[in-house]
Amino acid sequence: MVRYFYAWAPLAVVAATAVTLTIPYLALVVLLIVAVAALAGLAWAAVAVPYKLGRAIIGRLHGETDLTPQPAPVLSPATQQSAWRPVS
């Protein structure tokens, strides 16, 4: 038995896809949407990849790097102050 409504989600997606793609006009609309999305992805990659590559090369030439050393935290008990002090 299926308890939760979202357990039916995969079946609903498959059924909706099958119905949409069997109707010719709706299948053309879906194909157009997929083609526009693919074209947008290619356009984004054509702009983003050279931009990031150029930034990486310029950063290398200027000596910038993302691998700057971080100071380690001090964990030694000798350097930490304690609220407890022995009675002398």
Q: Splitting the chain (88 residues) into consecutive groups of 10 residues, what average pLDDT does each group show?
A: 77 90 87 95 95 88 68 64 58
Distances (CA, A) of 9 to 14, 19, 22, 34: 9, 15, 20, 21
pTM beyond cutoff 0.75: no
Task: Estimate to the nearest angstrom the gap between the alpha carbon of 48 and the chain centroid.
Answer: 15
- pLDDT of res. 80: 55
